[in-house]
Each structure stands twice: as C-alpha cells, then as structure tokens.
C-alpha cells in the first residue's frame, strides 16, 4: 500500500516576507532564486561585491532592485529576511551588519569553517533577538524527508544500520576558492550528509573519520572520506564519499535497515550536478506487507525544490515566534560532527562531538 510520504516543506500562512539576497554566485542562480520563484516568495532585491554578477542575476530572475552595497540592502525597510550566500569566511561580518540592522537571517552552510566563529555568529543573532536559520536544505531532500516520515511512523522499526554511499566526479574548479581550503569534503559537501543523518537519527556518541586525496589532485583538501557514526551497541551509520570517480558508473545512495523494514534511495542531483534528476525511494515494511516493495519516484529535485525548505521554515518560525528547524544552535551540532571528523582524521581515534567547543 503506497504511503503519503509527507516530504514537502510545511509552509506557514504568511509567505510574503521581503527577502534581500547577499551574493549572486553559483548557488543563488542554480538554487535559491529558482526555488523562491517556484514557491512564490517575495524577493525584494540583491547585492554582490561583483556588481556585474548582481545585475545579470537580477535580469535573469526579474528581481527589481540591485543594491550598490550591503549597507544599501540593509537600509531598505522592505527587506525583512537577509539571505546570505557567500563563502563562509565572509559570513560573520555580514551577520554582524545584518543583526545590527535587526534583520532575520538565512545563512549558508557551513555557518563558518571555524567553529568558534560559528558560535559567535549564533550568539550575535541571539543577542539581537533575531531568528537565524542555516541553509542545510538536504534535510528537505525528497529521499531524506520521506525516510524520516517512515522512521517517525515506526514503519522501519528500530534503526540498525544507515549508509550514505556517494561516488561521483566533482569538478572543484567550478569553485576556485574550494581548491585552496584545507578542509574540503567534510566541511563543504559531507556536511549535508552529516546534517541529514542528524535529522534522521539525532546526534551520535562518537565520530570515526578517515580522509584522503587523489593522485595529482587539484584541490588542497580531502576529496575522499569515510565516516562512521556510533550511536549505540545496536545502531551505527556510515557516510562514504568519493569525488574522484571519473567513470560513467557514478552513484549516490541512501539505505536504512531497521528491525521492521528498510528504505533504499538515490540522490538524483548527484547523477548530473547541478541539474540532476528526481530522487527515488524504495521501501518495504513488515508492518505494511513483508512481501511488497514500494517504489516511489518524486517529481521534485534536491535542487531547486529542497531550497524552499529552510526559507519556508524560517518564515513559519518568524510567524509563530519559535526556533526554525535548522536554527543556529542546532547547526552547531552539525558543525561539531564535521570538526569531530577532522579531529578523528588528525588523531586517528574516535571523537565525541562534545569534545568540539
Ligand atoms: N546549501 C547548498 O547546498 C550549497 C551549495 C553550493 C554552495 N553553497 C554555499 O554557498 C556559498 C556560496 O557558494 P557559491 O557556489 O554560490 O559561490 P560563488 O563563488 O559562485 O558565489 C559567491 C558570491 O558571493 C559574492 N560575495 C562574496 N563575499 C561577498 C560580500 N562580502 N558581499 C557581497 N558579495 C559577496 C561573490 O562576489 C560571489 O559572486 C558557499 O558558502 C557554499 O558553501 C551551499
């Protein structure tokens, strides 16, 4: 029997908060603006330190206001939510300015590549009394969100094993700054899988990671990682990522095995980034019918559709005066996992997330 997988973002009643975007780079053009257009969100204007990029993006998406500076964007009372999409080392200063202007905030992931600075960012928003959400939108990826529904309904029973296994070719040259960072996969890519695992199973007790590069590789940081999350004696999770698969047999899969059922999905985006194809999810539960496997193919895609999730959730949180799901404190736990992974690689041991910070 086919289930309603209840995977779409739950939006509030008020969805016309004015959005001002800082940064008009790759991800804003590929994901933020297409998603907001689809959802009918109210983008007031944007700015970028590269004025030409800002002007071109505004033309492409019919955004009426291009601000000459961040200050001009923050001065506009029509901008209620500031959507920051710049590399993480520039994010803290923008948060400082935006919180001083009393704006609500959607920040890009990683919140910061330096854990102590991420804490400062969260504290700035708390001190200013504004909401801060982080754009960890893979939680709203269709296969991830549907798996969460199955788990929450008890249809998979107690989880025993979870695996995200990704083997793709990533063209890092598309992000010149990514070639120079010391921490690459865990900080900028696997952070999505770590956050998704947290959204499904909570915070693990310990993190074991191993990282490697590739012969003659162009990036300074690691492009191959394996991470084990230890939750309990009866449940562990694995995240395995290889960015150097130059063959045509790439894959990006999720599998959850529980005492009553299993779910197995694909992340369609990674088969042809950033266009991709829809996710798939197959599942079976003894509580429905042990002899039946249900195959689900989604209409939506990780990019752009999942980007409606964090912005829609932030709007609902503002309207209901509560914390958004990917609020700053929650995101620090994801960053603890990332940093525990790096410490594990360096010290060749299991690291408890609480050791970070
Ligand atoms: N959530 C996701 O799935 C996802 C996907 C890709 C990238 N990202 C994140 O989004 C961020 C941007 O990535 P991108 O691929 O768009 O990078 P990009 O280099 O293509 O674009 C960044 C843009 O920010 C502008 N910029 C930088 N600092 C600025 C400042 N202080 N004021 C105004 N403009 C500024 C740059 O001129 C550039 O146009 C990164 O942190 C990256 O990790 C997130």
Q: What secondary structure, in 3-state letters, does the chain show?
A: CCCCCCCCCCCCCCCCCEEEEECCCHHHHHHHHHHHHHHCCEEEEEECCCHHHHHHHHHHHCCCEECCCHHHHHHCCCCCEEEECCCHHHHHHHHHHHHHCCCEEEECCCCCCCHHHHHHHHHHHHHHCCCEEECCHHHHCHHHHHHHHHHHCCCCCCEEEEEEEEECECCHHHCHHHHCCCCCHHHHHHHHHHHHHHHHHCCCCEEEEEEECCCCCCCCCCCEEEEEEEEECCEEEEEEEECECCCCCCEEEEEEEECCEEEEEECHHHHCCCCCCCCEEEEEECCCCCCCCEEEECCCCCCCHHHHHHHHHHHHHHHHCCCCCCEHHHHHHHHHHHHHHHHHHHHCCCECHHHCC
The confidence score (pLDDT) of residue 274 equals 78
Asked whether 25 lines ligand 1 (CB < 6 A), one says: yes
Distance CA 63, CA 9 (A): 24
User: How many CB atoms sit inside 10 A of residue 320's CB?
Assistant: 12
Q: Which atom of ligand 1 is nearest to the CA of 30?
A: 16
Cα 144 to ligand 1 centre (Å): 24
Cα 23 to ligand 1 centre (Å): 6
Asked whether 86 lines ligand 1 (CB < 6 A), one says: yes
Q: How many CA atoms lie within 13 A of 346 on its CB side?
A: 9
Length of the chain: 357
Instruction: Tell me which residues of the chain have a pLDDT lower than 50.
Output: none
Asked whether 26 lines ligand 1 (CB < 6 A), one says: yes
Cα 233 to ligand 1 centre (Å): 40
Asked whether 278 lines ligand 1 (CB < 6 A), one says: no
User: How many CB atoms sit inside 10 A of residue 354's CB?
Assistant: 11
Structure tokens at 132: 């801060």
Q: How many CA atoms lie within 13 A of 204 on its CB side?
A: 31
Asked whether 175 lines ligand 1 (CB < 6 A), one says: yes
Distance CA 285, CA 296 (A): 14
Distance CA 118, CA 95 (A): 11
Cα 201 to ligand 1 centre (Å): 29
For the whole model, what pTM was predicted?
A: 0.97
Burial pattern 158-186, b for ≥16 Cβ within 10 A else e, equals ebeebebbbbbebebeebeebeebebbbb
Distance CA 338, CA 344 (A): 10
Asked whether 69 lines ligand 1 (CB < 6 A), one says: no
Q: Which of 338, 352, 348, 345 is nearest to 230 (CA)?
A: 352
Asked whether 304 lines ligand 1 (CB < 6 A), one says: no
The confidence score (pLDDT) of residue 201 equals 98
Cα 108 to ligand 1 centre (Å): 8
**Residues in Cβ contact with 275 at an 8 Å cutoff, skipping those fewer than 6 apart:** 303
Asked whether 109 lines ligand 1 (CB < 6 A), one says: yes
Q: Which of 86, 88, 196 to mutate to test the pocket of ligand 1 (most atoms within 8 A of CB)?
A: 86
Asked whether 274 lines ligand 1 (CB < 6 A), one says: no
């Amino acid at each position: 029997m086919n289930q309603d997988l209840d995977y779409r973002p739950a939006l509030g009643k008020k969805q016309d908060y004015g959005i001002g975007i800082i940064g008009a780079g790759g991800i804003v053009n590929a994901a933020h603006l297409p998603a907001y257009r689809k959802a009918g969100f109210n983008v007031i204007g944007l700015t970028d330190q590269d004025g030409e990029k800002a002007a071109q993006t505004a033309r492409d998406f019919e955004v009426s206001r291009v601000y000459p500076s961040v200050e001009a964007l923050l001065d506009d009372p029509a901008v209620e939510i500031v959507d920051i999409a710049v590399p993480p080392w520039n994010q803290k200063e923008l948060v400082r300015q935006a919180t001083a202007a009393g704006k609500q905030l959607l920040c890009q992931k990683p919140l910061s590549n330096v854990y102590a600075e991420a804490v400062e960012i969260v504290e700035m928003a708390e001190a200013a009394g504004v909401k801060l959400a982080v754009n960890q939108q893979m939680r709203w990826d269709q296969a991830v969100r549907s798996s969460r529904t199955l788990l929450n309904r008890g249809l998979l029973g107690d989880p025993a094993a979870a695996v995200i296994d990704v083997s793709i070719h990533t063209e890092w040259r598309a992000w010149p700054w990514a070639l120079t960072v010391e921490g690459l996969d865990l900080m900028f890519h696997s952070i999505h899988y770590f956050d998704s695992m947290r959204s499904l199973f909570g915070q693990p007790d310990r993190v074991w990671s191993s990282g490697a590069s590739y012969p003659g590789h162009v990036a300074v940081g690691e492009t191959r990682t394996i991470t084990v999350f230890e939750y309990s004696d009866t449940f562990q999770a694995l995240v395995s990522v290889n960015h150097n698969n130059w063959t045509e047999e790439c894959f990006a899969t999720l599998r959850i095995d529980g005492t009553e059922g299993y779910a197995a999905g694909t992340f369609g985006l990674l088969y042809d980034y950033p266009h991709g194809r829809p996710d798939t999810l197959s599942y079976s539960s003894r509580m429905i019918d042990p002899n039946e496997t249900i195959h689900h193919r989604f209409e939506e895609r990780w990019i752009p559709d999942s980007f409606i999730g964090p912005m829609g959730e932030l709007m609902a949180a503002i309207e209901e005066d509560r914390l958004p799901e990917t609020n700053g404190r929650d995101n620090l736990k994801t960053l603890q996992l990332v940093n525990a992974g790096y410490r594990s690689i360096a010290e060749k041991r299991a690291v408890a997330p609480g050791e970070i910070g």
